[in-house]
Amino acid sequence: MSKEIITSKITGDSCIHVKHKSGLDIYIREMKGFSSVYALFGTKYGSINTMFRTSADKEYTTVPEGISHFLEHKLFENEDCGVFELYAQTGANGNAFTSFDRTCYIFSCSKNYTKNLRILLDFVQKPYFTKENVEKEQGIIGQEIQMTNDNPEWRLLFNMLKAMYHNHPVRIDIAGTVDSIAEIDADLLYKCYSTFYNLNNMALSIAGNVDEDEVLAICDELLKPCEDNGLETVFPAEPDEVVRNTITEKLPVGTTIFQLGYKCHTENDSEKQAKKYLVASIASMLISVKSSDLYTRLIEDNIINTTFDSEVFAGNGYFVVIFSGESEKPEEVRKAVAEEFSKIVQNGVCEDDFRRIKKVIYGSLIRQQNNVAVVASSMMNNYINSIGPFYDIDTFSDITSEDVYNFIKTELTPDKSVLSVIEKAGD
């Protein structure tokens, strides 16, 4: 077992990183004076990981879409009782989520954190899959899939991703389809569990009113050592071009909603990808914040309303800058955004705007250091992205307006944009 204390060169905050003898990476942030604790036990296993092999496999295994989400649901059941019942006895809030590139199991509490940590480490390491409980879950998740298919915002996102990506599995719904989950059985779940829930592919992140020695003692007791299985995940080749530039669907919504996404290149180096994410965040906010010329003009012309916003969405093999909101004239929004980026390419990034946006993001990063849940989630996020726990905040000050300019010039071009629209049914 190895241990290191990692300190931010910017804020002076520190966390403890332990590479446990079991293979698990453990991140502990002792936050004295705080009353709560937030913990995540996560694996680098999400909906995009549909093709993989280990060092023991000659061939790649391809699994049904949605199986990572299905597995997450099933881990909350064991032979004795449901996990939520155990958390209820200690007063903790338990939860979990599966996204494109990760699955995380969570608890938050203000007392009994050692008992809750025992529950967390215990149930995630005790899979219990049977023919009967798998068939039962297929019906439950099938209903969930149908519900999300009726969710306009969910449809908006996945319509955009399907119009953007030809082959990458990010284009597939996280929960899969009714047909794909019908292919899942107990044996397949155990195979995916043994592959991706290997502790060498996982991390524990815990922050708040905790004690390092107590956390590590529980880990020593409950973690089951395992050999690194040499996991390798692969993705199909993805061309630079989008599938189509526009996709529209009609649903019963109160007003037309849209997402305008730009398909960007991904970086093979994890730190370069993380820095690019920060650069892209500044680039998108330059034109989307309420103080920007574009926002003001589109509001005054009644083309957008106050729901207009931007975000960056990136992971293993995908990178998208998204502008979204409500508008009866989404094509005009697309045209205006493209023209605004063209102006920046012609005239350069306004230094005053750049510094202002940078201060806004930096201030947010600093404030987050006082939020137990955000601190724990950030450590887990950076583990998943294969970067240090303070990489974001320590790197942010090095970003220049030239970085932002080059990103806009090379990545945010009209030919790489996809406009996804949900119109009011009946119009």
Residue 91 has what pLDDT?
93
Going by C-alpha positions, the residue among 285, 245, 258, 259 that lies closest to residue 163 is: 245
C-alpha span between 60 and 45 (Å, rounded): 16
Question: Distance of CA 304 to CAs 26, 152, 156, 266, 274, Å?
Answer: 45, 18, 17, 30, 31
Q: Is it the case that residue 80 has pLDDT exceeding 80?
A: no
**How large is the average pLDDT for residues 208-233?**
96
Phi-psi region of 168 (alpha: psi -120 to 50; beta: other; left: phi over 0): beta
Tell me the DSSP string of 135-148.
Answer: HHHHHHHHHHHHHH
C-alpha span between 197 and 52 (Å, rounded): 13
C-alpha span between 108 and 401 (Å, rounded): 39
Tell me the DSSP string of 194-255.
Answer: HHHS-GGGEEEEEEES--HHHHHHHHHHH---------EE------SS-S-SEEEEEES-SS
Contact 295, 226 (CB under 8 A): no
Residue 76 has what pLDDT?
86
Assign 157 to helix, strand or coil.
helix
Q: What is the pLDDT of residues 304-326, one digit of tens each?
A: 999 999 999 999 999 999 999 99
- Taking the model in full, what pTM does it have? 0.94
Q: How many residues can be counted in the chain?
A: 427
Confidence of residue 148 (pLDDT cuts 50, 70, 90): confident
The mean pLDDT of the chain is 95
C-alpha span between 201 and 46 (Å, rounded): 12
Binning the chain into helix, strand and coil, the percentages to the nearest 5 are 45, 20, 35
Residue 79 has what pLDDT?
62
Superfamily grouping for domain 2-233: Metalloenzyme, LuxS/M16 peptidase-like (3.30.830.10)
Cβ count within 10 A of residue 178: 16
> Between helices 270-288 and 293-300, what is the axis angle to 10°?
40
Confidence of residue 393 (pLDDT cuts 50, 70, 90): very high
> Nearest-5° angle of CA 259, CA 262, CA 267?
135
Q: Is it the case that residue 427 has pLDDT exceeding 80?
A: no
Cβ count within 10 A of residue 402: 11
Residue 124 has what pLDDT?
95
Catalytic residues: 72
Superfamily grouping for domain 246-424: Metalloenzyme, LuxS/M16 peptidase-like (3.30.830.10)
Confidence of residue 81 (pLDDT cuts 50, 70, 90): low
C-alpha span between 265 and 280 (Å, rounded): 12
Q: Is it the case that residue 8 has pLDDT exceeding 90?
A: yes
Q: What is the pLDDT of residues 167-214, one digit of tens each?
A: 999 999 999 999 999 999 999 999 999 999 999 999 999 999 999 999
- CATH 3.30.830.10 in the chain is located at 2-233, 246-424
Assign 93 to helix, strand or coil.
strand
Cβ count within 10 A of residue 391: 20
